[in-house]
Amino acid sequence: MRQAFDGSHRRRIHLFRHGDVSYVDDAGNRVADSRSVPLTDWGREQAAEMCAFMDGVEVDKIICSGLPRTVETASGIFGDRNIEIEVDPAFEEIRSYPNGYQNLQSLNEVAYAFAKAHEPGAAYAGGDIFAEVEARIVGAMKRVIADPSWKSLALVAHGGVNRALLGWATGAGLKSFATFEQNTCCVNIIDVDTHPESGDHQRTLIRGVNITAYDPAKRDVHLTALETIAERMSKKAGIKPHL
């Protein structure tokens, strides 16, 4: 067990976003069930590159949300290790209203859907309320931290889930939800210190954010994940972005 200067147990969380998927078909239509989408070929390549990136990095516990894209990503990164991939649905992604995209006034509503996440009662595209989702996700993380059986955790989750956890880790909460971009198959590195006797959470340290094996300098990454969805939808609607 690694130790902090004050003797706290220092444990590491590798927080991943799943690999590339497509929520929009070639015609620009939203898929009927975003929960069931698999990785694209590019998403599988991303997981393979992250597998090489993580080679030699200690992991003794693996959790994913259970949605196909996280199961497939976790298997692509850690499938060659003899560690069970556990499922915890408390880390499932925030959900929009199924028909929430049918009456859009502007595709900016898609591209910047997280902008008002911190406002009281704010919901994601008419679906889940951000504050309720944040409480679910942070509560699940606190439960995981209270489990003393692991030293180095890999949590394979989603963009919204990771934003909520990074907001919790920084103390910024939902005010930072729209700020922490999460590229597909990225990893965030977070240390948590717990009291060696009581197990109480002492402090949180952020070591790295949004690290991608395929483009670590973000040379070719310019649009956000939500902007990419809006761009694909614009092909059908023929709508140009506007300020």
pLDDT digits (tens, 9 = 90+) for 179-203: 999 999 999 999 999 999 999 999 9
Q: Cα-flanking dihedrals φ and ψ of residue 140, to 5°?
A: -65, -40
**Residue for token digits 């023929």?**
238
Question: What are the boundaries of each domain within the chain?
Answer: 11-237
Query: How many whole angstroms separate alpha carbon 165 and alpha carbon 24?
Result: 26
Which of 52-83 are b and which e, b meaning 16 or more Cβ less than 10 Å from the residue's Cβ?
ebbeeeebebbbbbbbbbbbbbbbbbbeeeee
The span from the CA of 70 to the CA of 95, in Å, is 15
- Chain position carrying tokens 């197990």: 199
pTM metric for this prediction: 0.93
**Helix 68-78 / helix 41-53 crossing angle, nearest 10 deg:** 40
How many Å apart are CA 186 and CA 156, to the nearest integer?
10
State the CATH class of domain 11-237: alpha beta
Cα torsion through 212, 213, 216, 221, rounded to 10: -60
Least Cα distance to 91 among 151, 162, 39 occurs for: 162
- What is the pLDDT at residue 20? 93
Sorting pLDDT into bands at 50, 70 and 90, what band is 220?
A: very high
Unique residue bearing structure tokens 């949180």: 204
Reference 229, options 89, 37, 15, 1; nearest CA is 37
CB of 77 closer than 8 Å to CB of 157: no
Lowest average pLDDT, out of 36-50, 62-76, 98-112, 140-154, goes to 98-112
Give yes or no for a contact between 53 and 213, defined as CB atoms under 8 angstroms apart: yes
The answer to which of 52-66, 148-162, 175-189, 226-240 has the lowest mean pLDDT is 226-240
Residue 45 has pLDDT above 70, yes or no: yes
